[in-house]
Structure 1
Amino acid sequence: MLNQSILDFLTELRENNNREWFHANKKKYNAAKKDFELFVELSIEQIKAFDPGISGVNAKDCLFRIFRDVRFSQDKRPYKTNFGAFLAKNGRKSRYGGYYIHIEPDNCFLGGGCYMPESNVLKAIRTEIFHHPEEFKGIIENPKFKKHFPEMYGDKLKTAPRGFPKDFEHIDLLNYKHYAVGKMISNEIVQSDQFVSEIDESFKALYPLNRFLNEIVQDL
C-alpha cells in the first residue's frame, strides 16, 4: 500500500512550491521520497514475476528527480508536484519499453511503453509494425489490453511517416509519435490496498506491448 506521507507531502508542495518552504520541510521530502522508493522496489519485484527483463533494476535508477529544469520555461516553479518512476531495463533513461508510475494528488496514473523514442528507435518500431501489422494489432486490440489502455498515447502524424508508403493498409499504426499508453487512477484507489492489484493487472496487460517493443530495441 502506498504510504500516505507521499500524497500529504505532494499536496503541501503544490500549495507551497518555493525553495524556502522546500528547504524548511526537507525532512518531510526525504521521508516521502524514501517511502516512494520503497514502493517502487516492491513494484519492481511484483513486475519481475511476469517480465524478467527488469531483473537487476533498482528503484534509485528508476526515480525521476523532483527538481524542474526552468531554464527555458515560463513556469518558474522550482519543483515538480509529483513522484514518478520508469521501471525498465537500464532505468529511467532507458530506450527500452517499460512501466511508469506517476503519483500526484488528483492526477495519478499508470502507463508505459516507449515515450518520445529516439528517431532511430521510432523508425525501427514503425518498420517492424510495417512488416508485422497483424502481430501489433493483436497486442493493442487484445481485450485485456484495451480494458486498461483503450488507445495509444499522444498525437499522431497527419500523413505517412517518411519512407513508408501512403497507401499502406495499416498506415494508422505507423503514425504514432509515441508507442506508449496511460490510464488515470483515482486518489481513492491509490490510497487503498487495491492499488497493488491495479498495478499488477495493468502492467500484466501492458507486458506484451513492451515485449514487442523491446525485441526491436535490443537489436539496435
Structure 2
Amino acid sequence: MTFQGFPDEGLVFYEGLEADNSKTYWSRHRPAYDDCVRAPMQALVDELAGEFGTPKLFRPYRDVRFSNDKTPYKTHQGAVVNPEGRGAGAWYVQLSADGLLVAGGCWRLESDQVARYRRAVADDVQGPRLRAEVDRLAAADWSIEGERLVRVPSGFDRDGDRADLLRHKSLYASRHWEPGDWLHDRRALEEVRTSWRDLAALNAWLADNVGATTREPRARR
C-alpha cells in the first residue's frame, strides 16, 4: 500500500473516541480505525523504512495496570523506529485528533544509560557536540523535552553551559502540527521524512555515547 495521506475520517474517529472511550464506541467504529488510521500509518512508516529502519506500530489498547488513566483505548496512534544495533536514539510519529507529532531521541533510559549520558555531557568533546545540536534544534522550533532532575546531580558542574543537559534523565525533541489539508495527502510523508532527517544528528550522538542498557531485564512475576 502506498501512502496517500491520513483521511479526515481518522481524525474524526479520534474526536469521537475522546468523547466516548468505551468498548461500544470502539467496536462500532473499528473499521474507521483500521482503514483511516492504522493502514495509512503503516503505509507511511513502511515507505520510510528503507532510510530509517524497521518500524513498529503501537497497539491501540492502553495498559491500565500501572496507570491512573483507566480508559481502555489510546487516543492516538504512534509508530517508532529503533534502529538495530544502536541501542539509543529512535524516531517517532503520532496521529491524533490534534494533528501530527514527530519526535526523536530517548524517552526512557536505564540507570547505566543515564550514567553514560552524564559522563558524555560532561566530556569536553562530546558535551559541546550535544550542546550545539540541542541549541540548533531549539532554534529550529523543536521542543526539547525529557525527564529532568530539579538540580544538577552531585559531582557535575552546576554552573556550566551544559547544566540543563546534565539534569536530563531522558532527552528527546518533538514537533507538532495542527490538522490541515496537507495531512490528507503525501505532503505528510515528506514532513515526517524531513523532520526525521533533522533529528539524525541527535540520535547519532545518543547511539554513540549512550548505547544499549547492560542491565539484566527484570524477571516477570
Q: Flag whether TM exceeds 0.5 (same fold).
A: yes
User: Cα deviation per residue 1:136-167 (whole Å; 9 max; x = unaligned)?
Assistant: 1221223x663141x42145322222443445
Partner of 2:152: 160
2 CA distance for matches of 1:154 and 1:215? 19
Aligned amino acid, residue 70 of structure 1? V
Greater percentage in helix = 1
TM-score normalised per structure 1: 0.80
Partner of 2:130: 136
The equivalent position to 1:38 in structure 2, one of 40, 43, 55, is: 43
* Contact 1:6 1:35 (8 Å CA) reproduced: no
Aligned runs of 1:35-114 on 2, under 5 Å? 35-45=40-50, 48=51, 54=53, 57=54, 59=55, 62-90=56-84, 95-114=87-106
Between the two proteins, the alignment pairs up a number of residues equal to: 205
User: Cα deviation per residue 1:90-131 (whole Å; 9 max; x = unaligned)?
Assistant: 59xx95211110100115311110112112112211111111
2 CA distance for matches of 1:124 and 1:152? 20
Residue 127 in structure 1 maps to residue 116 in structure 2:
no
The equivalent position to 2:198 in structure 1, one of 163, 183, 205, is: 205
4+ residue runs over 4 A deviation: none
Larger deviation: 12-21 or 172-181?
Answer: 12-21
Percent identity, aligned pairs only, is: 24
1 CA distance for matches of 2:108 and 2:65? 21
Partner of 2:23: 19
Query: Secondary structure of the residue that 1:152 maps to in structure 2?
Result: strand
* Contact 2:147 2:171 (8 Å CA) reproduced: no
Greater percentage in strand = 2
2 CA distance for matches of 1:169 and 1:106? 35
Aligned amino acid, residue 38 of structure 1? A
User: Cα deviation per residue 1:3-49 (whole Å; 9 max; x = unaligned)?
Assistant: 3043233233223311122123333333232222112212333xx1x
TM-score normalised per structure 2: 0.80
User: Cα deviation per residue 1:162-188 (whole Å; 9 max; x = unaligned)?
Assistant: 443445553222112321011111211
Residue 214 in structure 1 maps to residue 218 in structure 2:
no
Structure 2 CA distance for partners of 1:74 and 1:186, relative to 1, 3 Å: same
The equivalent position to 2:179 in structure 1, one of 182, 187, 206, is: 187
1 CA distance for matches of 2:20 and 2:201? 41
Query: Any unmatched runs of 5+ in structure 1?
Result: none
Query: Any unmatched runs of 5+ in structure 2?
Result: 214-221
The CA RMSD over aligned residues, in Å, is: 2.6
Query: Secondary structure of the residue that 1:187 maps to in structure 2?
Result: coil
2 CA distance for matches of 1:219 and 1:72? 25
